[in-house]
Structure 1
């Protein structure tokens, strides 16, 4: 999600435990804590230049940064020392990043390369179609299989690969291919332990949940009857809930558990600030009873929901204004 808006935001991204998010700007970089909403780090344009992508590695001091003037270069920033520790160059621009504690997946034009952290040495490579959206997901639980999900060459399909079995400097053994939709994939997400996979196609009417071991569909969740551009799908840390936001301006929250063979809709919440195409958004869970939405217009929304379907917006902020008058927290 690296698109420039009038707010100066070029991209947004939650960290792996969904407790922090990064805000890349034409004027630098900011890092925020979610609950409470507090600015934790602030880099000016003079320090970093225009930042197009950033991936925070859990709550560590590691920030993976791509600058607009060096789109083929991935840099590892030590926020504690405010200094770069490593850099690696690619032959094509970096389109997306996904990290776990020991690895980062880098989405390029026609491949996803997996690098070790903090050395940034390559440990796996996966070929992807050049025309596909820059999608990938990594299982982040250190005790679970190190699954990587990315688009496959067959339309509507994706490939799953255990990157822990990869051979350094070479392409890994053949990934498993899962046919998920009849139209192109626009969004995908893995649960933290890699056991569940969520996908959405360009139609955007349904979210499908898959078992990554059996490659079988577990649930089909109805988002709506009108076509929509799904911006983000997220699981909670336990993999029991899933949420999504789209250009329809709604946040959907479902149970990811089977209930009599059917999925259960926990809540449907209006998120007006995500309703227009110029206000793309990301969603995440702050706990099992609340979800947050961050938008490229600089707004922060927190929703509280119940299994009975009750939902209300419990917090709203302009996060770009948070910390402007305070000392920066590191």
Structure 2
């Protein structure tokens, strides 16, 4: 019989979802019992809301006065096809939006509520009651991919691999043929000017201008296919972080002629490659000339498999079939955190440091199982 005392108490409840607020100063997690909000810089608990019922998705607006909440878990608080805008300052429901199909994602701003469904995106005016402003058809979008900035909304198009960019004030729609396979991850820069995309293949990340939808460049994560978990721009928009099921965090210089990065040619916005002179030999495969990350570091995907376990199968109701892992939040241009969900929900902090030769490295500062002692 094993009588050894465990070194650390396991997480008392699985985390069903993870999402950062606009400036990544906080992140919210959905639980079988409600939701919690943590300070990002040290994963310290800020708010715990016990509904005694499950929240499968929670998205903050700003500093968490309002949150978009969707039911989930073993005993959902709300139906999966219903979005509740929760007013945390008053501890009550503020608004309600119902749909015909389950809600896959939500984005909030002071003017808009964007509800993401399996095959459509619906934009509402933030008012009581909410009024539908526009609706758009999409390809299958089980992950609820959508980015909302002050001026635009970006989400998958009707054709797999395409992106729709909607101007909020005019309603004009632009189509970006970003990839040849389905979109797996999206990220928008804090100023709303740049869009990063990755497909199900997961080898290339493409950067587009949100102003004219022009492709500014592409970055190579690797050669082997991978499932991209998260894409996130740094506060200045000059760096991009990426995580995948390879359990590696990559940091790239962003190809943007208007904001040249450290290893970037200001004439064309292209970054340096890792193959040196080989990248200049004619007729070499393109992987030799593609810009790679300037720094990388392993992160913990957790002890459970990335595919949802049987124990979690009745807790995950959003239809993604995956435990969220590797969600990125930038604290500054030199510091970021990576947060995961599931029973082994982890928070890790990384810093970008420069050595005496001017080379930049990504170094892990610390980690913790953030739900231990918080539930």
Q: Where on the TM-score scale, by shorter chain, does this alignment land: which range?
A: 0.7 to 0.9
TM-score normalised by L of structure 2:
0.77
Task: Name the counterpart of 1:38.
Answer: 44
Shift of the alpha carbon at 1:262? Answer: 1.8
SS in 2 for 1:272: coil
Q: Judge conservation of contact 1:220–1:263 (CA < 8 Å) in 2.
A: no
Larger radius of gyration: 2
Task: Give the counterpart of 2:136 among 102, 126, 136.
Answer: 126
Deviations, residues 280-328 of structure 1 (Å, cap 9, x unaligned): 220121111011000113110000013623121102111102545xxxx
Deviations, residues 86-109 of structure 1 (Å, cap 9, x unaligned): 112111110111222322211112
Task: Name the counterpart of 1:281.
Answer: 326
Task: Name the counterpart of 1:100.
Answer: 109
Task: Name the counterpart of 1:271.
Answer: 299
Task: Name the counterpart of 1:169.
Answer: none
Task: Name the counterpart of 2:180.
Answer: 182
**Which has the larger displacement, 271-280 or 32-41?**
271-280
SS in 1 for 2:301: helix
Gapped runs of 5+ residues in structure 1? Answer: 141-145, 167-172, 325-330
Q: Judge conservation of contact 2:139–2:160 (CA < 8 Å) in 1.
A: no
Q: Judge conservation of contact 2:112–2:123 (CA < 8 Å) in 1.
A: yes
Task: Name the counterpart of 1:150.
Answer: 155
Aligned length: 306
Task: Give the counterpart of 1:50 among 46, 49, 54.
Answer: 54
CA distance in 1, matches of 2:152, 2:95: 25
RMSD, matched Cα: 2.1
Q: Judge conservation of contact 1:95–1:109 (CA < 8 Å) in 2.
A: yes
Q: 1:90 to 1:303 in 2, by over 3 A?
A: same
- Deviating runs (4+, > 6 A) in structure 1? none
Residue 12 (1) aligns with residue 18 (2): yes
CA distance in 2, matches of 1:154, 1:28: 36
Q: Judge conservation of contact 2:236–2:333 (CA < 8 Å) in 1.
A: no
Q: Which has the higher contact order (CA 8 A, sep 6+)?
A: 2
CA distance in 2, matches of 1:18, 1:60: 12
Task: Give the counterpart of 2:347 among 293, 300, 308.
Answer: 300
Residue 77 (1) aligns with residue 86 (2): yes
Q: Judge conservation of contact 2:181–2:200 (CA < 8 Å) in 1.
A: yes
Task: Name the counterpart of 1:139.
Answer: 149
Q: Judge conservation of contact 1:230–1:244 (CA < 8 Å) in 2.
A: yes
Shift of the alpha carbon at 1:21? Answer: 0.5
Q: Judge conservation of contact 1:27–1:50 (CA < 8 Å) in 2.
A: yes
SS in 2 for 1:310: strand
CA distance in 1, matches of 2:142, 2:29: 24
Shift of the alpha carbon at 1:74? Answer: 1.0
Shift of the alpha carbon at 1:133? Answer: 4.6
Q: Judge conservation of contact 1:155–1:184 (CA < 8 Å) in 2.
A: yes
Q: Judge conservation of contact 1:94–1:106 (CA < 8 Å) in 2.
A: yes
CA distance in 2, matches of 1:25, 1:210: 35
Residue 193 (1) aligns with residue 191 (2): yes
Shift of the alpha carbon at 1:184? Answer: 1.2
Q: Judge conservation of contact 2:105–2:143 (CA < 8 Å) in 1.
A: no
Task: Name the counterpart of 1:328.
Answer: none
